[in-house]
Amino acid sequence: MKTKLLLAALAFAAVRLAADTLTADTAVFVQADAKSPVITRLKTGSSIIYTGDAPAGWRRVELSGEFVAYAHSRDITKGLEVREGANILAAPDKGSAVLTVAQKGDKTEVTGLHGDYCQIKLEKKLQGFIATGATANTPGVETKPVFTVPTVSPSAGSSTALGHPVPVTGNTADLPRLFTGTLVSARRPIINPNPPYDYQLTDSNGRRFAYVDTKRLVLTDKIEALLNIQVVITGTVRNTVDGKDLVVDAEAMTRK
């Protein structure tokens, strides 16, 4: 009995040694490199848990919470979740740092479209690195969080650049979101003569990143007046029946 109590006490002490309280605002990096993307910035007084090994001058930490990240559209399932085994990225770019790999049971939700990539809300424990040496909170080091879930609410005036989504908060896939892009006809002779929808949104390179379903859309002007210009669409996102493309169910549409 005494042996069990001793082991339990040692285990509890080990957990306490692995935890700490921050005495200053601290950036958590994706890698043990001050030039790598920042997962989040922890406030003074935050409790942190150290886990695993790390290079000299760095500590590996565990984070819990919700994060904004990206996944390629081909890795989004018909249920609008990231498929198991897919890379979850720091930015909507093939050369971006891998934040984590999707695993069974991960909670992910599509919150926007970004060209060939989907912006997602990720709820999962992550690991990152904090600097304990000369690079810790060094002035001039970019420590703007790139994964923290934004708290701003969507509005027509807060749309981002062409093809970039406006991230919003929410716990339901049916929550309307804002999407920006160029509205064009989806019908293309030879390459797409019979599209599933009449219209689509394209990015700055002219690539489709979503079809637009307009059956619920009420406009004061004819939709032709919005063709081939940048627009802001309020609506929800889903997959096509075959799961190959994304569709925005438009509820409102205005010029950008």
Q: Could you write out the DSSP letters of every residue in 13-67?
A: HHHHHTEEE-SS-EEEESSSSTTSPEEEEEPTT-EEEE-S---TTEEEEEE-SEE
Q: Where are the beta strands (DSSP E) in the chain?
A: 19-21, 26-29, 38-42, 47-50, 58-63, 66-72, 87-89, 98-101, 107-114, 117-123, 126-131, 177-185, 199-202, 208-213, 230-239, 246-255
**Residue from 127, 129, 4 nearest 67 by CA:** 127
This prediction's pTM:
0.53
Residue 165: the pLDDT is 35
Token pair for residue 144? 């703007």
Residue 3: the pLDDT is 52
List domains and CATH numbers for the chain. 156-255 (2.40.50)
What share of the chain in percent tops pLDDT 90? 8
Q: How large is the average pLDDT for residues 139-164?
A: 37
Question: 213-239, pLDDT tens digit by residue?
Answer: 999 888 777 898 999 998 888 888 888
**Residue from 74, 9, 82, 254 nearest 154 by CA:** 254
Q: How large is the average pLDDT for residues 197-203?
A: 90
Residue 228: the pLDDT is 93
Question: 3-49, pLDDT tens digit by residue?
Answer: 554 444 444 444 444 567 777 888 888 888 888 888 878 888 888 78
Residue 133: the pLDDT is 62
pLDDT band at 255 (very low <50, low <70, confident <90, very high): confident
Beta-ladder partners of 127: 62
Token pair for residue 161? 């650049």
Question: 94-143, pLDDT tens digit by residue?
Answer: 888 888 888 888 888 887 777 788 888 888 888 888 887 654 544 434 44
Residue 142: the pLDDT is 43
Contact 236, 177 (CB under 8 A): yes
**Residue from 207, 123, 117, 122 nearest 165 by CA:** 117
Query: Phi, psi at residue 158, to the nearest 5°?
Result: -105, 15
Q: How large is the average pLDDT for residues 154-171?
A: 34
Token pair for residue 31? 């890698």
Over the chain, what is the mean pLDDT?
74
Quick check: 204 pLDDT over 80? Answer: no
Radius of gyration (Cα) for the chain, nearest Å?
A: 22
Token pair for residue 51? 């886990």
Residue 183: the pLDDT is 93
Q: Which residue has the tokens 């085994």?
A: 85
Residue 174: the pLDDT is 58
